[in-house]
Amino acid sequence: MPELEGLNINAVKENFNAALKAVTNLAGLDDLRVRFTGKKGDLTLLLRSLGKLPAELRKEAGLELNKLRDEIENKIELARQKIRDAENEKKEIDERIDVTLPEKGRTAGAFHPVMQTMHEIVNIMQGLGYSVATGPEKEEEFYNFECLNVPSWHPARDMQDTFYFPDGTLLRTHTSPVQIRSMLKYGAPLRIICPGKVYRRDNDTTHSPMFNQMEGLLIDKNVPFSVMKGTMSEMLNAFFGRSLKYRFRASYFPFTEPSMELDIECVECSGHDEHCRVCHGTGWLEVVGMGMVHPNVIRAGKIDPEIYNGFAFGIGLDRMAMLKYGISDLRLLFDGNISYFMSGFNSGKSEEAGGSKSC
Amino acid sequence: MLVSWELLKNFIDIEPLDLTPEALAERLTFSGAEVEGITYTAGKIKGVVAARIDALEPHPTEKKYLVAHLNTGTGEHVCVTSATNVKKGDLVFYAGAGAVLPNGMELGTRDFHGVESFGMMLSAEELGLHDVDDPSGLLILPTDARPGDKAENLYHIGDVILDVSITPNRGDLLSILGMAREIKGLYPKSVLNTPEWLTPLKQDKEWPEEFGNISLPDKGCLCYRLGLATGAKMAPSPLTIKIDLAHLGMRPIINAVDVTNYVMMMLGQPLHAFDLNTLPAREITVRAAHENEKMMTLDGKERLLTEKDMLITSGGEAIALAGVMGGEQTGINDDTSTIVIESACFSPIRVGHTSRRLGINSEAAFRFSRTVDPNLSRTALLAATNLIKEWCGAEVDYRPLFAENEISEPKPVKLTRKKLSTYLSWDNMSEAEKILDGFGIKYIKGNNDEKIFMPPTSRPDITIEEDLIEEVGRFIGYNDVAEKLPGELPRRADIGMGMELSGFVRNSLIARGYTEVVTYSFLPEDFPEKLRLSSDDVRAKPLKIANPISRDQMAMRTTLLPGLLTGLKTAITSGWRDPVRIFEQGKIFLFDNTEIEHVAGILFNGADTRSPFDNRAENFYNIKADVEALIMSRGFVPVFKAGQEPFTHAGQTADIFVNKNKIGFVARLKPAIEQELDASGVYAFEIDLTLLANKNKPVFTPSSQFPASFRDISLLVSIDRSNDEVMKDISASVSEAAGNELTLEKLRLFDIYEGKGIPEGFRSLAYSLAYRSHDRTLKDEEVEQVHNNVRESLKRKGYVIR
């Protein structure tokens, strides 16, 4: 086989290996591929000459040649991968940027702490089976006071200085009128919460003429105080995200009997700091007013207090928000000034970065 | 309500004997009477003692000083004073060198022009006693003071005062007696006492001059008593009494007046003392005022009355606004010697109405509106008579005059074991009976399942079973009751459309970079003018609060915009230079009493729009995108049409339509308003959320399996013609040209060009059209033909194709 000897398989293999070593880029690799496996490539020529071989040699030579072709193709593919990786690596280095430059376009918005608190508590209470009920903010004296066991002469009205309209209606002083409206609308049994704005004629660092409350009401048969207690602890623990100590103090609200106030352990110092700015060293925070619904109120809701009883509670959403988010002045919550919210709420983000955040 | 530890001793021997004021305060707080503070009235006092002035001589050189030689029982002390109200033999309080005053000041020795003075003699002020004595002179002690006795042990100087917050249902606690009864209830082993000044007197003498009837035509006066004292000498009250009154927050005046205040503080019965000779007639009538009747109260104000007010009159002349405030002319003066003491009881409803309407919160009105025990008037008159006899040296043996109307008696109240157990998870009926007894609520009859109790007249707040349960509950405390959750849910909890929408809106806008704010529902009265609203605009007629705190918070908002603009203004004023994107959702209030849920937002680029990238300024189209995203993600397709609001830019305002209803606007503000805000480029939107409350259920159409074909078209369009109109024309032309063969799946504006090569008054708009069929792959020629037809159709509509 003189012709074949001129195209020795081993020689082709060695030639290829030597040429591959010299290749540095994809173009060179392509040339190499054409030189060996192209239409007129060395290997292709060898393959074509196979037919001229005697049958007994053809089979063996064919296997050899196919093996070599696979080897060459694999090596070229591997080399292509390697070159591409090297090129991409360089591309990435060339395209490196300063990722600490400010973000482009808008930065995130921010929630209002009181609205956030409201939605959080609504979620918690929904899980406990409480539906949301609503009522008007411009309310009738009848629902705001009379039905709640507070006739016009009653000194309890001193507790709630009221904004009136010339037509004798008023801005609701609490969310409690929704208790009555809901009882009238849905009857018993009933489990509702009513979050919303309420208004009182008060304006100083601890009082705002407008603030946010959430009323809760459960009416059923033979409701014990222990259920109110369990509900309160469920709600507050879920909201603050940990198990809090709490205590009840007897108190008075015209629409509940018995009435009590709930104190929770100071969320700031847990009672360990006698100079605590939140609890002033008492270790306790007054957060919820509540009680078993007064029979007169149940009756005003056209439900028979001989059959049904229940409990109601009122929680100050602003105060809850202030406690959870460490806000000291109630009135700052309602001036619409973005700088307060952004610097107040996003500052955590920028602490590590060391720069203040734009928006 | 200030409660004196010393005065409590008049009525109660507290058991346990070692109970501290702090422990009592804690118990009171947990059982409903919150103690807000405890004051040790003697403060840091140390080493202040009574001393007698054995000698008093002028200072050798300085005329204005006197040199006193003081005897404290343990030695003689020299002390220089500039006071002029002392003489030899007087007893005073002396704080020697090293002694400490109540305010913590420590005294030393001082040289007064050659005379060494040790410490000082004290005035009442220096003892921390305001209004008790002339502040410029030394406090002269009664003659029975013993030199050497410590000040804090004398005259109640060293008292402990609890500041107790009394809830409106417990008018009975507005006295030392009431507090003593409460303490007896909380500490049942304590013993209640009757003070000496409640010892019955023999009072059977006729009045020296005849006094006519007491008539009570107004049933709001439950009872009315008059007592008489003659030959009374007006003088300051005993020192201890003056100090007691001062500790209770009352200014000591003169003995006869102090008696009434002292009895009121002790027993809770408001009294009124007047000079018999100033009474217009020898007759008293308590009647309803006439509509528009006028009266001058003793604070010098003329009061316009209504038929709901009650007057005490004499000879037809009003002398007091019953239970609220006395009149101007009948008061006690220094020459008074014949005193009439009025001890009456008035309906809480009537006094409550009058004091609330007139805004008079006198001690008397405060108590009467919280209910005063009608049985107290007799006891209080006896107390006052006894004390006037003692303090004023008066003759008091006269028979009191008396009249009464129907007085409602306490009614029995039932307590069942079932309800007690339901409420408190505790059902020890015999223990409950003992607890109630401690509070003066007496067991009448019953068995272990049901007992009947009679509350005392001092506890009108006890009328139903729950009231009894509360007495028991607050005694045993609520803290040991087990926690439970309710059983089966009554129904699926539904947070409601409004809450769901509110959550949706805030999440959507916060995600787009807006910050949520909450502003006041009331606005300055002139906000409609600021917004240039015309008088026929529904937003120009806000509801107005009849009793606002200020004019700035007076008109109920009819739009959320002013609150947001105030927020923006505040941010700018406070030096904020970054973009402002804020939104608020909440109610607006219209004149027809509707309350509508709105959302509004503003976008302002900030004073400094520089950025390391391209300029970060945004414009109308950015805020439009936010509004569109909000509405579309709710399942609705908004339509924007050129519009106008009184406060928006005439050329940059769009009305927003959903299902053909206008639901709001998105716009740039009027240049004049921007200038008022000192901000250029303020964009705003406001939307009525009513229509968005119901989510629109989207209709799903599967996307075509077959590829789309894209063609561009560029049109020369008059600038008067809006993009919206052009797009409608293109769509119409496609339908015309293609019929049902293929659809225009997407039509998108990708370029706007004005300027070189474009005639004046025109612009070039370039669109990309995506043709597609849902049942086959479109052939090129087919698309080409349709597109050509579209071009021809547009030409016929008057467009120039570029």
pLDDT digits (tens, 9 = 90+) for A201-237: 988 777 889 999 999 999 999 999 999 999 999 999 9
HEC profile for B204-226? CECCCCCCCCEECCCCCEEEEEE
pLDDT score of B225: 95
Cβ–Cβ under 8 Å, residues B59 and B113: yes
Tell if the CB–CB gap between B578 and A152 is shorter than 8 Å. no
What is the pLDDT, as a whole number, of residue B532? 95
Mean pLDDT value of segment A277-295: 90
pLDDT single digits (tens) A309-341: 999 999 999 999 988 888 877 778 888 877 555
**Token reading at A5:** 């000897």
Give A323 to chain B, closest Cα distance, Å: 18
Contact between chains at B521 and A197 (C-beta distance less than 8 A): yes
Token match 């009894």: residue? Answer: B468
End-to-end CA distance of chain A: 82
What is the predicted pLDDT for the residue at A48?
Answer: 82
Contact B593, B556 (CB under 8 A): no
3-state secondary structure of A266: coil
pLDDT at A346 over 50: no
A112 → closest Cβ in B484, B516, B546: B516
How many residue pairs from chains A and B have C-beta atoms closer than 8 A? 282
**What are the two backbone dihedrals, phi and then psi, of residue B214, each rounded to the nearest 5 degrees?**
-105, 115
Task: Supply the mean pLDDT for chain B.
Answer: 92
Q: Tell me if B490 and A158 make a contact (CB, 8 A cut-off).
A: no
Model confidence at B668: pLDDT above 90? yes
Spell out the SS3 assignment of A208-232: CCEEEEEEEEEEECCCCHHHHHHHH
Cβ contact (<8 Å) for B510 and A108? yes
* Size (chain A), residues: 359
- The answer to whether the Cβ–Cβ distance between B169 and A254 falls below 8 Å is yes
CB A335 within 8 A of CB A209: no
Split at pLDDT 50, 70, 90, the class of A343 is very low
Output the pTM of the full model.
Answer: 0.82
Structure tokens, B713: 């078209």
Integer angstrom CA distances of residue B231 from B30, B133, B225: 49, 25, 20
pLDDT band at A345; cut points 50, 70, 90: very low
First to last CA, chain B: 89
C-alpha of B622 from chain center? 43
pLDDT of residue B418: 94
User: What's the mean pLDDT in B449-462?
Assistant: 95
Torsions phi, psi for B467 (to 5 deg): -65, -40
Check if B498 contacts A (Cβ < 8 Å).
yes
| Interchain CB distance below 8 Å, B582 and A133 | no
**At B708, which amino acid appears?**
A
Note which residues in 597-636 of chain B have CB less than 8 A from chain A: 611-613, 616
pLDDT band at A6 (very low <50, low <70, confident <90, very high): very low
pLDDT tens per residue, range B712-762: 999 999 999 999 999 999 999 998 888 777 888 899 999 999 988 899 999
| A window 205-234, beta carbon within 8 A of B | 209-210, 212, 218, 220, 222-227, 229-231, 233-234
CB contact, 8 Å: A109 with chain B? yes
pLDDT score, position B466: 95
Find the closest chain B residue to A194 by CA distance: B495
| A130, A229, A337, A346, best to mutate vs chain B, most B CBs in 10 Å | A337
Alpha-carbon distance B313 to B283, whole Å?
8
Q: Which residues pair with B342 in a beta bridge?
A: B226, B272
CB neighbours of residue B378 within 10 Å: 15
The closest alpha carbon to B602, from B568, B629, B633, B555, belongs to: B568
One-character DSSP codes across B242-302: HHHHHHTT-----HHHHHHHHHHHHH---EEEEEGGG-SSS-EEEEEPPTT-EEEBTTS-E
Output the DSSP codes for B24-55: HHHHHHHTT-EEEEEEETTTT-EEEEEEEEEE
Positive/negative CA dihedral, A208, A209, A210, A214: positive
Which pLDDT band holds residue B775 (cuts at 50, 70, 90)?
A: confident
Q: What is the per-residue pLDDT for A358?
A: 41
Position B183 scores a pLDDT of: 97
Helices (H), ranges, B538-610: 561-573
User: Tokens at residue B774, please?
Assistant: 């849902």
Extended beta strands in B625-676, E state: 639-642, 648-658, 661-669
B361 chain-A contacts, CB cut-off 8 A:
158
Residue A142 phi/psi, 5-degree rounding, is -55, -50
DSSP-assigned letter for residue B755: S
Alpha-carbon distance of B792 to B799, in angstroms, equals 9
pLDDT tens digits for range B336-349 = 899 999 999 999 99
Residue A1 has pLDDT above 60, yes or no: no
Which pLDDT band holds residue A352 (cuts at 50, 70, 90)? Answer: very low
Any chain A CB within 8 A of the CB of B521?
Answer: yes
- Please say if the pLDDT value at position A100 is more than 80: yes
pLDDT of residue B402: 93
What does the DSSP 8-state code read for residue B131? T
Task: Name the strand (E) or helix (H) holding B326.
Answer: strand B325-326
pLDDT for res A353 = 40
A 10 A CB-CB count for B668 gives 21
Q: How far is residue B744's CA from residue B730's CA, in Å, rounded to a whole number?
A: 10
Task: Give the closest residue to B374 by CA, choosing from B334, B323, B330.
Answer: B323
Residues of B in contact with A254 (CB under 8 A): 168-169
Six-digit token pair at B484?
């439970």
pLDDT tens digits, one per residue of A29-74: 999 888 888 888 888 888 888 878 787 788 888 888 888 889 989 9
Lookup result for tokens 């609205």: A115
Count, residues in chain B: 802
